[in-house]
Structure 1
Amino acid sequence: MSNKIRFTSQEHIITRQNRAEKKFLAAFAAEKPTFEAPMVIHNPYLINPLGALVMFITPEKVAPTLTVHGKRYAREDLTHTFAAATEHFLPVLGLYEDFDNKVTVSLPDGRSTTLTITTGKLPGGVEGVYRCRNIQASLDYLGDDLMFLSPAGKNLPSAYDYKGDIRWLLTENTMFDLKRMKNGNIVTGSSRFCHMPYNSTGMFEINLLGKIHKEFRMPGNYHHDHFEMEDGNLLALTQDFARDTVEDMCVLLDRNTGEVLKTWDYRKVLPTNVGGSGSQDAHDWFHNNAVWYDKKTHTLTLSGRHQDAVINIDYETGNLNWVIGDPEGWPQELVDKYFFKPVGDLSKFDWQYEQHACVVCPNGDVMCFDNGQYRSKVKEKYIENKDNFSRGVRYRIDTDKMEIEQVWQYGKERGQDFFSAYICNVEYYAEGHYLIHSGGIGRVDGYASKALGAFLDMNDPSMELRSVTVEEKDGVVLYQLETEGNFYRAEKLPLYHGGDNLVFGDGKLLGNLEVTEEFDTVPEAEEVLELPPSFHNILVEEDEDRFVFHGKFEKGTLAMLCLENEREGHHYFINTAAVVHLAMCSGAFLEKDDRDVKIHISKRGLQGEFALKLIVNDKKYQTGVTIYCP
């Protein structure tokens, strides 16, 4: 192995998309394509290979209709009518992979033009798409909707039609939930790594054609979930890396600027050392994986996996209102004031454990996905995964009497076959009509695995990952999708939204990353004019606002990154100690070899050119890499 340092410097995907958009708009202006001979751009924004853009000009304002023809018969056609205009920019969504897709554009006067758009095979393997294994659905039920699944590993966000064909995909490994906003765009976690185990720079606002309108960068990074407020501002889950706990804060972001408008800190609400789940540790004591705003009560409802608790706090003050969860292990004064007493048919009542994705129903009921991991707060009573169950559950709460009744569940009857120790979600569509997504199924020799799916070795034929998404209405299963792999959450969405007039203009980077913490004590090390030994397998990936350093180190190695020029030096500690992750809601950034480490260094607070050097034990090595900080 050569001891050559690998270095890449790449513009942000938004910058590359801005350039691509300017290029095709300039071509459109120069060529003035007609309806009879429109301009077609396949994958115009570089990250959606199942999308295209059809552009043409008409002498008068007309409302064109676009049809993506189904593979088998006309009832499968995806048809959408756009707003009237003279300049037409029609996003083509829902193309089949590896296929000569027929697309027809028709005008109100009866004229039509049919195009052929050829797509290639989608990427496979661990870092590609996961295929449908089995689907129970009808075109009458699903219609033009697709089931969108967001990844829980290195796989890609994908959407499946009623036959299980993938009809939408991003080649960026965006993270965590994917939610449609009122303007038709989706917001999801960015694909850019910041901190282990799965913290990304922030969130992308993106249309389904693939154009990223905004990245909302956050100093505490983004994880797990977000929520659009009535005014368009965004609640987002985050943390403060300057302290010793994580995943225990929520912020409100200005939709236009990315500015943090308000912060909720759960350490001011709950004790950090009581009521712990089987996965709790002092560092990740709450593990917030969902946020929901309820306008009726002006409150936030939050899911804390590592306290087996769904909590509700006042939006304005942050004060605690109530807790849903098993009270065992909590101080009695908190139990008496904030916890509910079960009522109704107690033979059918179960508390939720290590839950995800809390939802407040229109009548105030609370739903969540009850993963059921351990299904006890007492170690001696823990239940093995092969004997356990996961489910969607709905609780009715009376906040005056502090009583709780279980009014619905789905999944307990399926036992270990539906068991997911992590991730997953539920959705409320209408009374009696729900989605239940068990996306973290892992099996070893046919039994529910003891380890989370993200940690299973898919090269071992005894191991398998699955994701099962169910829709139930009035107790009847109307839809079920089983795929390979694990998926974080499921959302049923139509491809088109409203008039779907594309919004052009440069995408923007909003907000800020953190100033990366520096290390004050710099070890004495002999500076040598050579590269680090090849064992370290160094890779440096630079983009516009940060860089990521990858390297391999034996556990306990003293290692430090140094940025130096003639005026100043900056030093960043590389943690090579063994790290045990008790939670892994996305394995996108996991390495196969636990000696492989990576750290992100933000350029915020830095200015100028810096030579990058690496201290390993008692030597300071050159890398030959220069980092430019504008």
Structure 2
Amino acid sequence: MTVIYKQFKHIITEQVEREQAFLAEYKVGQHTIENPYIKLNPYHIAPLTAVVLFATTEEVAGRVTVKGKEAAGDMSFEFPKAKEHVVQVLGLYENYANQVVVELEDGSTTTLTIQTEAASEKVKAPTLINTTPEYLGNNVIFVSPTSPAMTAAYDYKGDVRWYITLNLAFDLKRAKNGRLLVGTNRLVAPPYHTTGLYEIGMIGKIYKEYRLPSGYHHDHFEMEDGNLLILTQDLPTGTVEDMCVLVDRKTGMILKTWDYKKVLPQDMAGSGSQDAHDWFHNNAVWYDKKTNSLTLSGRHQDAVINLDYETGDLNWIIGDPEGWPQEMVDKYFFTPVGDGAFDWQYEQHACVVLPDGDIMMFDNGHFRAKKKENYVPADQNFSRGVRFHINTEDMTIEQVWQYGKERGKDFFSTYISNVEYYGEGHYMVHSGGIGSLDGETCNRPPVSIKEGTGEVVYKSVTLEIKDDEIMYEMQLPANYYRAEKLSLYCQEDVLTFGKGECLGSLGVTEQMMTEVPAEEVKEVPDTYNVRVGEEEDRIILKATFEKGQLVMLILEGEENTYRYFVPTTKRPFLAMCVGTFQESDERAVEFPVSKEGLVGNLTVKLLIDDTQYDTGMSIQCS
């Protein structure tokens, strides 16, 4: 009998230890601009970054430049006046002897050589890149993966200039403080619900983790006051992806909740991917200050909805009205007008409210109908970015722009994807979930196709259009949830030393209150491949069970015993938006238990079918 037990430090703890180590190294010598201290990948998750430390006798400002492989590839960043200089170096090339020039305003200068290693094979090279350095300027295109790949940023030539080795999921957005907000790599429930959000500096330092009791998925939005709208759910209720919460930026605590079950029917007007568990599938949130409202995309009702921010009441719905109750159609739906072409959107993503009130989104077009007999086959279908003008007084809607329909099945993405608005006539359209199975266009998310089924080819196409001209196009051999155009350097993203914070709460994991009779305690058979991981705030059971086995995790103490039902029958997820958390073995089970509410020295036991097993280990909880 072998039960593997391992303790895991939170990445915030690991990073502060590494930070203390390199700062101690720096203090050993006298480091000037001629002899600076250099630490490549200082926080161990961003291999194409470095920090350069040195001191000057006078306060002086300066500039750092990572030299490009050609002049257009130079990336520069100014750093402020100081005597103790902490210079972030971003935009290094992988597998390259990078030349980095540090210049001070007093004329002092030095050129450093920073050799990087080759990137992981999960950092995909573009199969097509078409733009100019003049157009992209100092920006790079970030993509976050849903198939086996890494979150990465590409320059005008398609060279990767930044990537993260953590399995980070869903949208990646820059906050007002210059840092990135992105989903964590810690799973709370399959197939991709994670603990919450990381706030991470471009150098790879995680400053905060915002944790939620039922986890995070898909999208988030920074409010004017810094508080965060985060998409979540209440897992014990049995449904997912149907709630939004407002989270206090300083404490991580939930301030306000919107539950869509209060305003929408759950058993009608579904898309072809809907089931009772994932009836709405909220994949985007946008706050509009002018109307004080939330706009939300519900993939599994083919609907973009708008809620009053204060009351949560339903204001309107954009979508095909077929299948909805007539009283809702009369009150909340729009009537198409105008002389131009018009198509409703289906299983859409990434709703955006534009300055003039227009609504822009990515229309995936999956099935492109409400009834099965009218479903459009993938090889005859299309996806697109689309802009609608809505009039909420007379409840009319007009399609005023689209791009993608003309590219047909080659641009068709059953899932994920996004649009961005840069100004009138200037947009990004990212079709991130293109795929084929044995040469045939996929009519389901490619990441949901099991190994051995056939040859799956992944593809994403990211393009930018200005005044109807394509100014940028990148194609990658992977699926990516969203794309964002950002600069690597941001003046507000200042590297500060010290330990980051875990904010918010994972809540108390729901217990099974019934004690199940079992035979005497035995040793755990090796066939179950049981592993127990202890994180700073969670206990995680990993094991291999046959479908439908009855499994209970028991934490037994002198005064308290905690029992948890461990699901062994996986749901057939119809909307596998992120496949990077999937186990190759369908029998693999991962079950986390929050330490909140646990007290005492707890012996770890397992009930499997009608037998109770002792793992031989105990965990101390305060």
When normalised by structure 2's length, the TM-score is: 0.97
Residue 143 (structure 1) shift = 1.6
> What percentage of residue pairs aligned between the two structures are identical?
55
Contact 2:193 2:215 in 1 (8 A): yes
Specify the alignment match of 1:577 in structure 2: 569
1:135, 1:13 → 2: CA distance?
A: 35
Distance 1:331 1:206 in 2: 45
Kindly tell me: are residues 556 and 501 of structure 1, through their superposed partners in 2, closer, same or farther at Cα, counting changes over 3 Å? closer
Task: Say whether the 8 Å CA contact 2:202–2:493 is kept in structure 1.
Answer: no
Q: Distance in 2 between matches of 1:279 and 1:460?
A: 20
**2:98 pairs with 1:106:** no
Aligned residue for 2:549, secondary structure, equals: coil
Paired position in structure 1 for 2:58: 60
The one-character-per-residue Cα deviations of 1:206-227 (angstroms, maximum 9, x if unpaired) are 1110111100001121111000
Report what 1:200 is aligned to.
194
Q: In the alignment, is residue 331 of structure 1 matched against residue 329 of structure 2?
A: no
Q: Can you give the 5+ residue segments of structure 1 that lack an aligned partner in the other structure? A: none
**Correspondences of 1:69-218 after superposition (within 5 Å):** 69-71=67-69, 73-124=70-121, 128-218=122-212
How many residues align? The count is 622
Q: Kindly report which structure 2 residues correspond to 1:136-535, keeping only aligned pairs within 5 A, or say none.
A: 136-345=130-339, 348-457=341-450, 462-498=455-491, 500-532=493-525, 534-535=526-527
- Output one character per residue of 1:143-199: Cα deviation in whole Å (capped at 9) or x when no partner: 221110012144321111111111111111111100001110010001101111211
Q: For the residues of structure 2 that align with 1:121 and 1:457, how far apart are their CA atoms?
A: 30
Alpha-carbon deviation of 1:613? 1.4
2: CA distance, partners of 1:547 / 1:168:
33
Aligned partner of residue 171 in structure 1, secondary structure: coil
| 1:8 paired residue among 6, 9, 20 | 6
- Give the match for residue 544 of structure 1: 536
Q: How far is the alpha carbon of 1:58 from its aligned partner?
A: 1.0
Q: CA deviation at 1:29?
A: 3.9
Q: Distance in 2 between matches of 1:122 and 1:461?
A: 28
Per-residue deviation, 1:555: 1.4
RMSD: 1.5
Structure 2: distance between partners of 1:109 and 1:466: 49
SS at match of 1:414: helix
2:611 equivalent in structure 1: 619
State the distance in 1 between where 2:518 and 2:157 align: 62
Distance 1:458 1:281, change over 3 A: closer
Is contact 1:416–1:447 with CA below 8 Å preserved after alignment? Answer: no
Aligned to 2:235, the other structure's residue is in SS state coil
Q: Once the 2 structures are TM-superposed, how far is the Cα of residue 582 of structure 1 from its aligned partner?
A: 1.1
| Alignment correspondent of 1:47 | 45
Match of 2:29 among 28, 31, 37: 31
Whole-angstrom CA distance in 1 between matches of 2:494 and 2:581: 35
Tell whether the 8 Å contact from 1:132 to 1:164 is kept in structure 2 after alignment. Answer: yes
Q: Which runs of 5+ in 2 are unaligned?
A: none
Deviations 1:100-136 (A, max 9, x none): 1111101123221111111111222xxx322211111
1:494 CA drift (Å) = 0.2
Contact residue 184 and residue 497 of structure 1 kept, 8 A? yes
Shift of 1:265: 1.1
**Structure 2 equivalent of residue 587 of structure 1:** 579
What is the CA–CA distance in structure 2 between the aligned matches of 1:350 and 1:119, rounded to whole Å? 49
Gap change, CA 1:291 and 1:500, over 3 Å in 2: closer
User: Secondary structure of 1:101's partner?
Assistant: strand
Residue 424 of structure 1 and its aligned partner are, at CA, apart by: 0.5
Does the CA-based 8 Å contact 1:248-1:286 persist in structure 2? yes
Shift of 1:529: 3.6
User: 1:557-611: per-residue Cα shift (whole Å, max 9, x none)?
Assistant: 1111111122221111111224210111111221222222211111111022212
1:284-308 Cα distance to aligned partner (Å, 9 max, x none) = 1111110000111111100011110
Residues 570 and 623 (structure 1), Cα distance of their counterparts in 2 relative to 1, 3 Å cut: same
